[in-house]
Chains A and B, each alone.
Chain A
Amino acid sequence: MMFSEFLEFIQANEGAPNGKPAPTTEPSEIIGTALSRVDGPLKTTGTAKYAADYNFKNMAYAVPVCATVASGKIRSIDTSRAEKMPGVVLVMHHGNAPQIFRNGNGGRNSENRPPFEDDVVSYWGQYVALAVAETFQQAQAAAAAVSVTYDADKFNVSALLDDAMPEIGQPDGPKVLSHRGDFEAAFASAPVKVDAVYRTPVETHNPMEMHGTVAVWDGKRFTLYESSQGVINHMNVLSQMLGVPKEDINVISKFIGSGFGGKLFPWPHSALAATAARQLNRPVKLSVNRKMMFSNVGHRPRTEQRMRLGATPDGKLLGLAQDYRNHTSLHDDIRENCGEATPFLYSTANLRVSSALVKRNVGTPTPMRGPGAVPGLFALESAMDELAIALKMDPVALRLALDTQTDESNGKPFSSRHLKECLQVGSEKFGWAKRTPEIGSMRGKSKDGDDVILGWGVACASWGASRGPSQASLSLLQNGRVRVSSGTQDIGTGTYTIVAQVVSDKTGIPIDRIDVLLGNSSFVPGPTSGGSTATATVVPSIADAANNAIAAMLQITGSAKNSPFAGKTPQDLAMTEGKVHLKDKPASSGVPFEEILKGANLASADGAGKSGGLGSDTKARDYSTHSFGAQFVEVEWDPGIARLRVSRVVSVVDGGRIINPKTATNQMAGAIVMGVGMGLFEETIYDPRNGHAINDNFADYVVPTIADTPQIDVHFLDIPDPQMGEYGARGIGEIGLAGIAPAITAAVYHATGVRVRELPVRIEDVLKAKVAV
């Protein structure tokens, strides 16, 4: 999905602008404190319960049967052997399954086609049946015993996206997504040109916690234990798929072992588990295994991007074009927004971004960390590196020269753009000034003490900044604690912790007396955790709830009979460090709020919080709002054994105010490791003879290990964005990854002289290097 579509999606959620201006006062010290995660001990002691950790009495286990053709129709399903096996209670398939509905009334699904809708198979691994049994092992054996035959059809999983299609702008041809000036004319006359095609592979989301659903049906209502990045959306979609009112579905995702976008929208296993639970009238657990992760729950789609840059000899960018394609599934048109950053990252008068889809027999793609922008920036920033080389300019200097404070795609000023500072700070921290530009000219020692060639590369990063509407509830309780809740969730990024920090900032109550409740669709609606928008979205509603609860508390203080401040108006009173006191007296003269509640015989003082989307409390619509970054990479190259390692990364991010530098740094460091995977290792490979993602396991799909982790230096500019509402926080989930891969390939070129335009960089590529040992 394109980021703009994601914005529409989050804006479409419940909640409305409240029209309140963003506060301009500086927050207390707790905002910006490197607080350890409040949920950390639960996770490190194994007591945090993830979706598949839930067990219920009389629970049955479901295991899907996956198609072994990439295209065709199911000719027959023979379940007789499976049904006779010990413990088997149900074998469900398109021929006998209760109806599962399409989702057409709001909310977003992953695959439009519900599971078991018909006998059509359009990708290898698609669920064609579901075996349910008393134990997991019995269900697994039964699933293996289901015999399915197919009338196989032609299919296409080609990694080449060169399908014939009409010209740009023609019906069914590539769509022009951004356009200004006359690119073709500018490029034709440009003295210096780069014209190259860049390719990024299919990548599979591989969070530690795989997808899973535990569905509990009580005869009327569902409780679904999910690993979801959006419990409210999950409830909205499943209520439609299952044909029950929203109030009869409760989606719970208290802890998520990360999602990286793969858990934004429901996948078919959720409706299957719920349908089986309803039919059997007992709880059903369905765990998606690692193999299924490669076929059934989305991926980053393959892209092919032609980049053309025309420049003057002194580095003025005359024109820039990005014509790209990405693959998508047969049923769903998922457009990777590879041109997200292209129209505004650098100054140029002539620009065009065009986009086309090609259909493949693969599962439906879904956003993966930095969807569009990450593969798009690989192409743009690689092309910029090639342009710098063609111009004999330093790649940092070229980018600094092309910086702009106006978004040239729409003429709006940026709300807070500090790309230049990112490059400058990064250069300083990395030691960029010592770089010699000649290929293979820098030497060093590896960790093991071997003589190696060093390569240094840089790339810029950008990701949109936005926020949607959100609600929250907050209660100051008679036991002296605070309870705050919102229907958002913590996908491992630290949302629990930053919510507690915001509450502490507003109430003055210490973190250890604040209970944050998230991950439950029965709470007031909070945001989906995606697109780097959760923090910016949820924080203002939490602050609003806290302010309203304090107001309620002051009201109670003045009106309660036994109150020490009876008769005072809220205007006379304040709450500081959890104590209510006269505004003109110090906090030490005040009374703890719980004492006042006790005296008034009240269980709590409550506040409802509501905040609107981008622009509801600022003039954000008049600005272009984005985060920026610069990422510097060092690789070590040992040509004698073709050994390439990423040894050092400096990542500088302009992400607005950082609420918690510890959890934020953690995200940036994780993104660097993910970027090493994207740059050097990760690719999901479909066997062209059958469409199977053949490396669907952790031995064959290579991800970085700790031994591959470079020395990491993360730095935030920490400049509040005045247009982002309360605190000026933007999001940082995606941007940490955005420039890593192109910085790696730039460094690889600098070390080896090999320009890799198709990720990942493999030993096969660098073996071609001509640099002497």
Chain B
Amino acid sequence: MEAFKFSRAATVDQAVAAHAGATTAIAETRFVAGGTTLIDLMKLSVERPKVVVDINGLPLDKVEATPEGGLRLGALTRNADVANHDVVKRDYAVLSEAILSGASPQLRNMATTGGNLLQRTRCPYFRDTAHACNKREPGSGCSAIGGHNRMLAVLGVSSDCIATNPSDQNVALVALEATIDIQGPSGKRSVPAGQFHLLPGTTPHRETALQPGEIITSVTLPKPIAGSKQFYLKLRDRAAYEFALSSTAVVIKLSGGKIEHVRIALGGVGTKPWRALEAEHELTGKSADAANFRIAAEAAMRDAKPASENGYKIELAKRCIVRALTNATVQA
């Protein structure tokens, strides 16, 4: 860990001002909330901020109903509180299930909604400064391609980066079509969850839509779709406390035996929380049966590009999608 300046922000404006001089959203100035990613990475000298701004004092820790019938999660709401919130459990079960499938109770007690959105990859080469990594040091190269990449992404990859977004929460937020509420030097804006994270392309160090000085203030969940069912399935080597090899969040509504509405998002296989639009397209208006689920799963993984060790994820993700759809519709 390297020496840094530490300050506390009492208001969102103060936090924005403290960050506004930074050259990128995640360069020399960092906000710290739960600290479950940032502090670890600082200890590894992967994150080397000059300034750390503690935002735990900001009034962003409420869960509130929105006038539109949705739910607003303050950026500082703790993962454990969100997952166990009665309204979340009732109306946004996929989010509760996703959060509870991740990390450990201790980590969920600390980690926040906003922090989880900014959770950084678990790629082993990103986390060790002895190795080249375009995400950590732009232009240095990607050690994961041709290295130990069993855990890494097959969707949205580029020749510069195949790092997986490790979050479970974010997968559910994409399936729920949440919006990310942001405040910055030029005011407030909202970004759909599906567009918040960026593909690595040739700039894998740019991970989100956040600009310097911008801070996530809340995440807004839209009004739940009446009669819809939700399910989150996470597959991994061991039974608990491990990042997904493949996960699927499903929000689905049947009408007259046909699929009227379906949203599918994938975790563990993409460089960002992955919206499976092709699969949704295959299913809309069709009957909810095993054959159609498999067709959708094939469509979802059609563009997958495996690296040397992670080709198995393609078949695993297909099975994950089929089972998640099956379980969601069996409930229905």
Contact = CB atoms under 8 A, between A and B. Distances in A.
Partners in one complex: yes
Interface of A: 68, 137, 140-141, 144, 640-643, 645, 680-681, 685, 687, 689-690, 692, 694-695, 697, 699-700, 702, 704-708, 762-764, 767
Interface in B260-286: none
Given A687-B147, A694-B147, A641 B233 contact: yes
Interface string B212-235: 000000000000000000000101
A681 B150 CA distance: 13
A704 B236 CA distance: 12
Interface in B223-256: 233, 235, 237-243, 245
Contacts of A707: 238-241
A679 B216 CA distance: 44
A59 to B, nearest CB: 21
Contacts of A140: 1
Contacts of A764: 312
B67 interface: no
A144 B315 CA distance: 42
Given A68-B130, A144-B45, A767-B315, A680 B237 contact: yes
B238 A700 contact: no
Nearest to B241: A705
A68 B124 CA distance: 15
Interface stretch (B154-162, B200-208, B316-324): B316-324
Given A640-B322, A699-B122, A763-B316, A645 B239 contact: yes
Interface string B107-120: 00000000000000
B312 A640 contact: no
Nearest to A638: B323
6 contacts: A640-B323, A641-B323, A680-B237, A681-B238, A689-B143, A700-B151
Contacts of B8: none
Given A140-B1, A708-B240, A763-B245, A694 B319 contact: no
A135 to B, nearest CB: 12
A293 to B, nearest CB: 15
B146 to A, nearest CB: 7
Given A700-B151, A702-B237, A763-B245, 19 more contacts: A141-B2, A144-B45, A641-B319, A641-B320, A642-B235, A642-B316, A680-B237, A690-B131, A694-B124, A697-B127, A699-B242, A700-B122, A705-B240, A707-B238, A707-B240, A708-B238, A762-B237, A767-B315, A767-B316
A695 B239 contact: no
Contacts of A706: 240
Contacts of A695: 124, 148
A128 to B, nearest CB: 13
A681 B233 contact: no
A646 to B, nearest CB: 10
Contacts of B243: 699
Contact of A763 (B2, B127, B237, B240): B237
A642 B246 CA distance: 11
A472 to B, nearest CB: 43
Contacts of A640: 319, 322-323
Contacts of A680: 237-238
Contacts of A697: 124, 127
A707 B242 CA distance: 11
Contact of A141 (B1, B124, B127, B146): B1
A708 B148 CA distance: 25
Interface residues of B, number: 33
B240 A687 contact: no
Interface string B125-159: 10110110000000000010011100100000000
A642 B319 CA distance: 8
A705 B241 CA distance: 8
Interface string B37-58: 0000000010000000000000
Contacts of B245: 763
Nearest to A66: B130
A690 B235 CA distance: 31
Nearest to B234: A641
Contacts of B312: 763-764, 767
A137 to B, nearest CB: 7
Contacts of B148: 685, 687, 694-695
Given A640-B323, A641-B323, A642-B316, A702 B242 contact: yes
Nearest to A140: B1
Contacts of A642: 235, 316, 319
Contacts of B124: 694-695, 697, 700
Contacts of A700: 122, 124, 151
Contacts of B315: 767
Contacts of A643: 235
Nearest to B315: A767
A60 to B, nearest CB: 19
A708 B236 CA distance: 12
B240 A689 contact: no
A68 B316 CA distance: 35
Contacts of B322: 640
B128 to A, nearest CB: 8
Contacts of A137: 1
A68 B132 CA distance: 13
B289 to A, nearest CB: 14
Contacts of A687: 143, 147-148
A705 B319 contact: no
A645 B143 CA distance: 32
B236 to A, nearest CB: 9
A707 B238 CA distance: 8
A699 B143 CA distance: 18
A96 B81 CA distance: 55
Contacts of A690: 130-131
Contacts of B237: 680-681, 702, 762-763
Given A144-B45, A641-B319, A685-B148, A692 B130 contact: yes
A705 B315 CA distance: 26
Contacts of B240: 705-708
Contacts of B2: 141
B147 A689 contact: yes
Interface centre among A137, A694, A702 (most CB of B within 10 A): A694
A706 B319 CA distance: 26
Nearest to A125: B130
B147 A641 contact: no
Contacts of B125: 694
A144, A680, A697, A764: most-surrounded residue (chain B CB, <10 A): A764
A699 B130 CA distance: 18
B96 to A, nearest CB: 17
Contacts of A704: 238
